[in-house]
A and B are shown apart, each in its own frame.
Chain A
Amino acid sequence: MRNQLEGSRAIAETVARCRPQVVCAYPISPQTHIVEALAELVSTGELSGCEFVNVESEFAALSVAIGASATGARAYTATSSQGLLFMAEALYNAAGLGLPIVMTVANRAIGAPINIWNDHSDTMSQRDSGWVQLYAQDNQHAVDLHLLAFRLAEERSLPVMVCVDGFTLTHAVEPIDVPEPEVVDRYLPPLRPRQRLDPAEPLTIGALVGPEAFTEVRYLAHRAHQKALDRLPMLLDELAADLGRRCEAPISRYRVADAETVVVALGSVLGTIKDTVDGLRDDGLPVGALGLTMFRPFPGSAVRAALTNARRVVVLERAVAAGAGGIAAADLALATSGLPLHRYQAVAGLGGRPVTRDGLRQLLTAAHADRLDQLTFVDLKPEPLEVVG
């Protein structure tokens, strides 16, 4: 049943229905409402059989999750921004150990300058950590992606992060259906870990691996991602059957089929993009929007297939690789190599700068006329730049 809920609350209730056994939390805005709600659900007994551990840092939060997951418990944590960076070493470790931890990242910029608002710099910086990355377009999508995340993580023994735009989604109140417990139980069976610490069958986990086998370990990690991508359609079909709605992944297509100009983006900005696309279509411009719900593993074949009819593509990103430009744009360029596409990169919405229909309309109109620089910073204001000269 749909209710008017805050995104964080809906995510927390969904996570609770996934029955995590260990939840560890360290506060950072804008992730806080999620873990506060989980703490409440544990204290009221609505989420039973769960240890809620208040830790002293994000590094500890993920480390506690690593220990818990290796012992065979379903482990969950959430963070944002600097917190994700503080976890970085443990992120690679969790992935290397193949631990099915699920984490919500309430996306936020990285300092300096310190900035608490939304962009994708944090998760983009960890795109190669070995975690699966899913980006939510709205709060319903975020809720459904959490179910998928636990199932995918545990089937493939891979950690999964669900990236939810901080404030824009986490603090928005909108109609959301939190799946009923029996629906979640049907979709998500109890965790059967691939391996765990058990005195009855002692295992050594986390051994030193030298040059003779390290490449193979990394190859297997890459293959695990590919297999996750292969497995995705079946998991999505099952999810749709249980939920009665489709969760769009690994990509979402909006008026792409006959579009000459396609804007590619991740996260909640796609909502505003879709409204803009509708407006431009009304004006006769054949534009469309392609959403990357899954960024790791990168759904290259699906992206390529979706863009075969397009003439130009604008990759709009909420992050920038200083000195290089777009981040997703590079992956997209590889996936579409050989296609006769004009490729543009747009950096927009950094540190909470609103991405508006007006700005998008200008961007897409210019792109459609091939009057766009190869790399554009959307809505760049001249005043702060004059100071530096």
Chain B
Amino acid sequence: MTSLTITGTVQADRARPNTLTSGHRACRGCGEALAARWVVDAAWRAARGQLIAVTATGCLEVFSTPYPESAWRLPWLHSLFGNAPAVASGVAAALRALDRTDIRVLGQGGDGGTVDIGFGTLSGMFERNDDVLFVCYDNQAYMNTGVQRSGATPPGARTSTTPPPLGNRFGQGKDAPRIAVAHGIPYVATATVADPHDLERKVTRAMAVRGARYLHVLSPCPLGWGAEPADTIRLARLAVQTGLFPLYEAAHGEIVGSTPIRGEPAPVEAYLRPQQRFQHLFRPGAGSDTIRAIQAIADQNIRRYRLKEA
């Protein structure tokens, strides 16, 4: 992997491309809008502006392209909810046929479009090792349609289809980045909107590689999580600090590095408490077992990904 010296973020650069420019209709505090701009800007820079984006149906598509407006300053295609990875494969195939592999392809979708309805096409794109970077902006439910449960919704969380007192069931859900690693593709990484340096570095690394690549970005949703718009970054950071969202990178099926939690891991309560979607766990006598079970998930992540500093 090429080592890169990053002096400042792309976002800190006054000449940042603003591929997803201002004026779009995302909610205030939207983690996905932030993540998308950072990711696409970094990919755009890595590709020297030779970049095409394919986006699945979802919030990102809806808030960025209400006809006759578009917030995208790069060639951008939306086809369907469940086919963005395959459409991106098609773009990549066309670029090979047209001898324009200098142009790179970025696919993007929310967790619904990526880990649920688009998962078959994502897996197909992975196994063919098509030259696509696919990015999942994970806000852990179907936010565009009104906060319904997805395969990425965490256990215990309330959504409009997993109401309290139980919330989302334990023992369900999909760990998309690990499944991506299992495909043996050249590069897989996780990131959040809490650390633009880390996010941009991973995008840049991904863009330095050819073949199928996957980036899974935790992108808090103030509306769906029941959180303050000002807390988007803080919650993403706490997801990492508790161990609930491990940051790691993998190459060709092997985990090659993880980001240790700075200092002592935060208890999961610190992450759960500011979010309305977990409030039912804090009612008197209601959810202490559930909170303990969530803590166990965090502890397992800390062991599995070696997140404690030595």
Where the two chains meet, the residues of A that have a C-beta atom closer than 8 Å to any C-beta of B are 21-22, 24, 49-51, 53-57, 59-60, 63-73, 75, 89-90, 93, 97, 197-199, 201-210, 213
Chain A min CB distance to B127 (Å): 8
Query: Within 8 Å CB of B62, what residues of A?
Result: 208
User: Distance (Å) between the CB of A21 and the closest chain B CB?
Assistant: 4
B52 cross-chain contacts in A, Cβ below 8 A:
71, 197, 199
In Å, the complex CA distance between A210 and B65 comes to: 11
A198 to B95, CA, bound (A): 10
Q: Which residues does chain B contribute within 8 Å of A207, judged by CB atoms?
A: 65-68, 70, 78
Contact B66 A210 (CB under 8 A): yes
Cβ-closest 6 pairs across A and B: A67-B90, A206-B78, A73-B94, A63-B86, A56-B124, A71-B94
Q: Are A56 and B87 in contact (CB under 8 A)?
A: no
Contact between chains at A213 and B79 (CB < 8 Å): no
Contact bitstring B63-79, A, C-beta under 8 A = 1, else 0: 00111101011111111
Establish whether residues B98 and A71, one from each chain, have CB atoms under 8 Å apart when the complex forms.
yes
Chain B residue contacts of A205, Cβ below 8 A: 75-78
B50 within 8 Å of A (CB atoms): yes
Which residues of the other chain, B, contact A90 by a CB distance below 8 angstroms? Answer: 79-80, 83
Q: Chain A residues with Cβ under 8 A from B66's Cβ?
A: 207-208, 210
Q: Smallest CB–CB gap between B149 and chain A, Å?
A: 22
**Chain B contact residue count (CB 8 A cutoff):** 43
Decide: A67 near B97, CB < 8 A? Known: A199-B52, A204-B76. Answer: no
Compute the total of residue contacts between A and B using a CB distance below 8 Å.
Answer: 157
Q: How far is the CA of A72 from the CA of B93 in the complex (A)?
A: 11
CA gap between A57 and B128 in the complex, in Å:
13
SS class of chain B's interface: helix, strand, loop or mixed?
A: mixed
A21/B87 in contact, CB under 8 A: no
A112 to chain B, nearest CB (A): 22
B279 contacts the other chain (Cβ, under 8 Å)? no
Give chain A nearest CB distance to B23 CB in angstroms.
14
How far does the Cβ of A207 sit from chain B's closest Cβ, in whole Å? 4
- Given the known inter-chain contacts A56-B124, A207-B70, A207-B78, please indicate yes or no for A67 contacting B51, CB distance below 8 A: no
Q: Mark B93-130, 1 if CB is under 8 A from A, else 0.
A: 11111100001000000000000000011011001100
Residues of chain B at the chain A interface (Cβ within 8 Å):
49-52, 54, 61-62, 65-68, 70, 72-80, 82-83, 86-98, 103, 120-121, 123-124, 127-128
Do B73 and A63 touch across chains, with their CB atoms under 8 A apart?
A: no
Expressed in whole angstroms, the minimum distance between the Cβ of A18 and any Cβ of chain B is 14
Give chain B residues whose Cβ lies under 8 Å from the Cβ of A199. Answer: 49-52, 74-75, 103
Residues of chain B within 8 A of A202, CB atoms compared: 72-76
Residues A73 and B86 in contact in the complex (CB < 8 Å), given A56-B123, A63-B121, A66-B79: no
18 contacts between A and B (CB under 8 A): A56-B127, A57-B124, A60-B120, A64-B87, A67-B88, A67-B89, A67-B94, A70-B77, A90-B80, A93-B79, A202-B73, A202-B75, A205-B75, A205-B77, A206-B65, A207-B66, A207-B78, A209-B67
Chain A residues with CB under 8 Å of B68's CB are 207, 213
In the complex, are the beta carbons of B50 and A56 less than 8 A apart?
A: no
Given contacts A89-B80, A93-B80, A199-B50, 9 further A-B contacts (CB under 8 A): A21-B94, A24-B93, A60-B124, A67-B86, A68-B93, A205-B77, A206-B78, A208-B61, A208-B67
The CB with the most chain B CB atoms within 10 A, among A50, A73, A97, is that of A73
Whether the Cβ atoms of A22 and B97 lie closer than 8 Å is: yes
B113 to chain A, nearest CB (A): 12
Q: Separation in Å of the A348 CB from the closest CB of chain B? A: 36
CB nearest to B92 among chain A residues: A67
Among candidates B51, B77, B89, residue contacting A64 with C-beta atoms closer than 8 Å: B89
CA separation between A93 and B80, bound complex, in Å?
7
Q: Which chain B residue has the least Cβ–Cβ distance from A70?
A: B77
Which B-chain residue is minimally distant from A214 (CB atoms)? Answer: B67
The distance in angstroms between the C-alpha atoms of A201 and B90, with both chains bound, is: 19
Nearest chain B residue, comparing its CB with the CB of A99: B79
Instruction: Assess the A197–B75 pair: CB atoms within 8 A.
Output: yes
B76 to chain A, nearest CB (A): 5
Q: How far is the CB of B77 from chain A (nearest CB, A)?
A: 5
Q: Are B128 and A54 in contact (CB under 8 A)?
A: yes
With A21-B98, A50-B97 already in contact, the answer to whether A70 and B86 are too (CB < 8 A) is no
How far, in angstroms, from A55 to B72 measured CA to CA in the complex? 29
Residues of B within 8 A of A68 (CB): 90-91, 93-94, 97
- Which residues of chain B come closer than 8 Å to A75, judged between CB atoms? 90, 94
- Check B83–A59 contact: CB distance below 8 A: yes
